[in-house]
Chain A
Amino acid sequence: MFEGIIEGLMNVFTPLNFATLLIGIILGMFAGATPGVSGTMMVAVMMPFTYKMPPDTAFILLSAIYATSVFSGSITAILFRVPGAPEASATVFDGYEMTKKGLAHEALGWSIFSSFLGGTIGALVLLTLTPPLAEAALLFESPETFSLVILALCAVSALAVANPIKAIIGAFFGLWLSTIGLDPMTGISRFSFGIPFLNAGIDFISVVLGLFAVSEVFRMVQDPLGMMKITGEVKTVLPKLKAIKKVSPIYSLTIPVGLGIGILPGIGATTAAFVSYALASGKWRDKKFGTGIPEGIAAPESANNAAAMGAMIPLFAFGIPGSATTAILLGGLIFHGLRPGPLLFSQFPVFAYTVIFGAIFANISIILISPIFIRYFVKLLQIPKGILGPLILILCIGGTFAVRNNIIDVWILFIFGIIGYILEEYKWPLAPIVMGLVLGELTERNLRRSLLVSGGNPMIFFTRPISGTILAITIILLLIPLLSKIRGKRIPIIEAKE
């Protein structure tokens, strides 16, 4: 294990990997900070470019994009009251108020420091907690794995959105998409309409790029000349040690809360930011949250970055993604021939630790690189969305074609772009579709294996201790929204997401 840790640490600093890490950090910051371009979209767009890279280099790039995009959404939230990414929505409350008071430089400093602290602690927990969890997961057999996948899908559906029915339909639709092509157990073709190419199944990149990138471009071009106006030079001033000490009780609450929410499947960094902001403003009522105070930035920014790292824990330990972006990362890992989960740490320890250390350094880099990045980024905001949108479309087309060199994938991208746009306009969550698609093969394989062992008796999922416990938690999770509806109260997690 220690050899893997040391080798992983050294591996980050090879010239190729370190250069890739820097590129990932810049791309992530750019994606998070540009309104309309999310970290999820950037991870999806960059995925096809990683196919010819060694897996460790590829995932250093993708995890760096993921880690830094969560922070940079706060830049435009503070300066313009426009969150660059949904995760920064709660930062608007106090961030923009500080800008109005002429304290934008301090607000940016607090955002940088809080994101660095939350993200780095989150990444260190990822490093220490994941290997023992993965070891425990070695006890999992088919019924347990199936139950865990069901828990993840139900958590996405029941807790993460306002309308669970839409989310469940989305998850099941994603699972169904994964059944297209040859059945891995019998070799029988399913839903391929006689098209030989479809026997290989639907490529998840076309679906993900269509749902998250193409649909977003349709929204971007509705304001083609849209750009941010900035007057004067933007500076950042990091908080002093004395001020940090004053705010530290906030961090001691929000970072563990953010981590906990991140670990739960389906509840991402956005919810973590809102819940932490709500908890902090409730606990420290004398602080006057919402009037432009550093604590109002420290709470959401430390929590969302911790949550982003927390979401990687179930991905690495169990092979179950905790959010839409980690679901895309899971798809990428599978494409590179790796199966995240208990065996990843024993079979590919150097790879696993390289990616984790990459995430740690990406978070540390926030405090080193972002002050320079912000100074130049505000100039890039002058590019109209009518140019950024077509560029993204062209990259999506090229990227999708690059995966299997077939135009059918590009048509699938087009179809899912339209589907994604229509569904999002009617507030259908897209993350469950991606999670269903990525987890589909794992779900079906373990369901069928379990039933094969039990002679077709579904009680196998309930009578085994671990599987039964996981399913009991699933049922409780499903009942929470129902019970809160009966009692006429909305639970804060759902409230925050809305």
Chain B
Amino acid sequence: MKNVNKGELIISLSFFIFSIYFFYLSTQITGPVTMEIGPEVFPEFLLGTIMLLSILLIYNSIKKEIKSRLRITKNVIFSILFLLSYIYLLEIMGLIPLTPIALATYMYAIGIKNWKWLLFATIGISLVLIILFPILMLVPIPRGIGIFREINLIFY
């Protein structure tokens, strides 16, 4: 197992497990008996093929040495954390003050230390967001709850 690329193996195994699980779910779908080909057949065919091909990939990833590696740098983790917290807090806090605070923290964390850039980008991007979506496109972006709702009502 010295040359096995763990990432490749994990992806292939994930596809295999995914296809088995959803294949099982497909068998639970029942359509009208009069149909020649019911709603379960097409997904079953797709998932069955994915299952077979992922076995082939598992074999390949054990047999062949593949050089690619996943780069999970701290900036990728910061990006994931930013997205997770931003999406989660959007319904609670609305765009203001969430967007400037989250953006400034995120950009500082990934390495933008120049305060002029930080200030310009944070205010600029927040303004673009507010003007573009709730004001120009009339998108009902959440305004948050409690005090945050009051704050956001000032802006949009």
Residues of chain A touching chain B, judged by Cβ–Cβ distance below 8 Å, are 49, 52, 165-166, 168-169, 172-173, 175-176, 179, 183, 185-186, 188, 190-191, 214, 217-218, 221-222, 224-225, 384, 386-387, 389-391, 393-395, 397-398, 401-402, 405, 407, 410-411, 414, 417-418, 421-423, 425-428, 443-444, 447-448, 451-452, 455-456
Contacts and interface: CB of A to CB of B under 8 A. Distances in A.
Contact of A391 (B79, B80, B121): B121
Please give me the 4 A-B residue pairs with the lowest Cβ-Cβ distance, nearest first. A183-B39, A224-B111, A402-B139, A386-B112
B106 interface: yes
B149 to A, nearest CB: 16
B112 A387 contact: yes
Contacts of B46: 172, 175-176, 179
Instruction: Report which residue of B40, B57, B139 has the largest number of chain A beta carbons within 10 angstroms of its beta carbon.
Output: B139
21 contacts: A165-B57, A172-B49, A176-B43, A183-B39, A191-B25, A218-B76, A222-B76, A224-B75, A225-B111, A389-B110, A394-B129, A395-B132, A402-B133, A405-B140, A407-B142, A414-B87, A425-B70, A425-B71, A426-B11, A426-B66, A426-B70
A110 B14 CA distance: 48
B102 to A, nearest CB: 9
Nearest to A398: B133
B39 A393 contact: no
B112 A384 contact: yes
A456 B37 contact: yes
B117 interface: yes
Contacts of A168: 49, 53
Contact of A393 (B38, B40, B79): B79
B34 to A, nearest CB: 10
Contacts of B82: 390, 393
B43 A224 contact: no
Nearest to B35: A186
Given A222-B76, A387-B112, A418-B80, A173 B50 contact: yes
B125 A390 contact: yes
A444 B42 contact: yes
A222 B103 contact: no
B75 A221 contact: yes
Contacts of A224: 75, 107, 110-112
A186 B39 contact: yes
Interface in B30-61: 30-32, 35-40, 42-43, 46-47, 49-50, 53-54, 56-57, 60
A483 B35 CA distance: 40
Contact of B57 (A166, A221, A452): A166
A398 B79 contact: no
Contact of B22 (A176, A221, A407, A411): A176
- The range of chain B's interface size is 35 or more
Contacts of B83: 214, 393, 397, 414, 417
B7 to A, nearest CB: 6
B133 to A, nearest CB: 4
Q: Mostly helix, strand, loop or mixed at chain B's interface?
A: helix
Interface string B128-149: 1100110001011110000000
Given A165-B56, A176-B22, A417-B83, A455 B36 contact: yes
| Residue of B106, B111, B142 with most partner-chain A CB within 10 A | B111
Contacts of A173: 15, 50
Contacts of B90: 397, 407, 410
Contact of A387 (B22, B26, B35, B121): B121
Contact of A447 (B29, B37, B79, B84): B37
Contacts of A398: 129, 132-133, 139, 141
A181 to B, nearest CB: 11
B129 A221 contact: no
Nearest to A454: B36
Interface string B96-137: 000100010011001110000100010001001100110001
B53 A179 contact: no
A168 B128 CA distance: 40
B115 to A, nearest CB: 13
A387 B107 CA distance: 7
Interface string B58-77: 00100000101111010110
Nearest to B76: A218
Contacts of B69: 425
Nearest to B32: A186
Contacts of A165: 53, 56-57, 60
Contacts of B106: 390
Contacts of B112: 224-225, 384, 386-387
Contacts of A222: 71, 73, 75-76
A390 B121 contact: yes
Contacts of A390: 82, 103, 106-107, 121, 125
B36 A451 contact: yes
A417 B87 CA distance: 13
A190 B139 contact: no
Contacts of A443: 42
Given A386-B111, A444-B42, A451-B36, A422 B11 contact: yes
Contacts of B70: 422, 425-426
B53 A169 contact: yes
A410 B76 CA distance: 18
